[in-house]
Amino acid sequence: MSYQIYESGNYLIIDTYDEVARVVTASAQYAKKNSYYNKTVDGYVITEFGGGEFAITSDDIAANLWTDNASVPLSESEIVDILQNHTGNFKSAGGSSSAFVGATLMKTGQQTSYKTGDDGAFQAGRAVDFFTLENAGPFGTKRFTDELGNQTYSNNIVIDWSTYDSVNGKVLGYYRTLLATDIWSNQIDAGLALSIGTFTSGWRITNHNEFSNVYAMTDNVFSGRFDGLNYTPFNINVGSYIWTSTSRDASFAIAHLLNAFGNFGVILSNKGNTYPSLACRTFTVSGTTLS
């Protein structure tokens, strides 16, 4: 008995002669790198982003049981090379150091160019566009879905799959209904107390970066206006600044406000002033189930 590991089209194939275990989901919308491998005490485990694992033991490698698709035995270093080249990333099991690749910044959403060399000309950043991911997650290439992977948003929960950490199974989601106008301290408490559907804890108001992450800098979606959250699925259209949880280091009494209407702007405001806030939560992803 021997086992084969090799690349074929969009898939990394594990052939045990009993069954073919496709490490990447069979749907054509999934890239072949939509998986990762993990070093364990017994060898290696290949994990598909959407769930499912396959173990390759060091004992079987040493016994020359693993071959390529031409039945040529593979050494451990050759198998690691295959895993490095044909899976998305490497997660260290024991907390030891490993190669790290950070995420490229997202596109701003601006599509109109006003001068050669500006944002609209380059459209630099990750994803096909503001609403479409380059590589598929558990629910395809849609950047925004609800917690069930649909786009109905019956609980007003918006999952932003551009933030998906497939190695640790985490993704950021937002509650698209603004919390009622209040002072900063009360907004912090309201975020912590928020309970939506089965997600009864873990909510918070967004920090500066979490808010900016979903602010679209495009005039094409908003009929000539830069109303950065007035797009589906958020559809937030308020003539107001919005509190973030981020304080100004120089003064405990001052925090960051971000403008959701008109020109995107940041101001510093006394925490005793009253504004609404946007809540978010880090969700745990297991296959296609969020908790």
Three-state SS at 278:
strand
Q: Per DSSP, what are the bridge partners of residue 196?
A: 199
Q: Per DSSP, what are the bridge partners of residue 173?
A: 159, 281
For 70-88, how does the pLDDT look when each residue is reduced to its tens digit (9 = 90+)? 889 999 888 888 777 766 5
Contacts of residue 239, Cβ cutoff 8 Å, sequence gap at least 6: 261, 262
Please report the pLDDT score of residue 172 as a whole number: 95
233 vs 155: CA distance, rounded Å: 12
Please report the pLDDT score of residue 28 as a whole number: 30
203 vs 246: CA distance, rounded Å: 15
127 vs 104: CA distance, rounded Å: 9
Please report the pLDDT score of residue 48 as a whole number: 67
Q: Per DSSP, what are the bridge partners of residue 38?
A: 45, 91
CA dihedral (102, 107, 113, 115) in degrees, to 10, reads -30
Average pLDDT, the chain: 79
Q: Tell me the pLDDT band of 197, cut-offs 50, 70 and 90.
A: very high
Given a contact cutoff of 8 angstroms between Cβ atoms, the answer to whether 23 and 36 are in contact is no
Average pLDDT over residues 34-61: 76
For 161-167, the CB contacts below 8 A with 24+ separation are 161/133, 161/137, 162/106, 162/126, 162/127, 162/133, 162/213, 163/213, 164/137, 164/138, 164/285, 166/34, 166/36, 166/49, 166/88, 166/89, 166/137, 166/285, 167/36, 167/89, 167/91
Given a contact cutoff of 8 angstroms between Cβ atoms, the answer to whether 231 and 239 are in contact is no
Please report the pLDDT score of residue 150 as a whole number: 94
Whether residue 93 has pLDDT greater than 60: no
109 vs 219: CA distance, rounded Å: 9
Here the tokens at position 250 are 């120089």
CA distances from 11 to 7, 32, 52, 58 (A): 6, 5, 14, 23
For 234-243, how does the pLDDT look when each residue is reduced to its tens digit (9 = 90+)? 988 777 789 9
Higher-scoring residue by pLDDT: 122, 197: 197
169 vs 119: CA distance, rounded Å: 32
CA dihedral (16, 22, 23, 27) in degrees, to 10, reads 180
Average pLDDT over residues 223-230: 62
Alpha helical stretches, state H, the chain: 58-62, 76-86, 119-122, 184-193, 208-212
Whether residue 24 has pLDDT greater than 50: no
Whether residue 226 has pLDDT greater than 90: no
| The residue to which tokens 């405001």 are assigned | 269
Please report the pLDDT score of residue 138 as a whole number: 84
For 132-165, how does the pLDDT look when each residue is reduced to its tens digit (9 = 90+)? 887 778 888 899 999 999 999 999 999 999 999 8
Contacts of residue 150, Cβ cutoff 8 Å, sequence gap at least 6: none
**CA angle (152, 158, 160) in 5-degree steps:** 125
For 248-287, how does the pLDDT look when each residue is reduced to its tens digit (9 = 90+)? 887 789 988 877 665 556 778 899 999 999 999 999 998 8
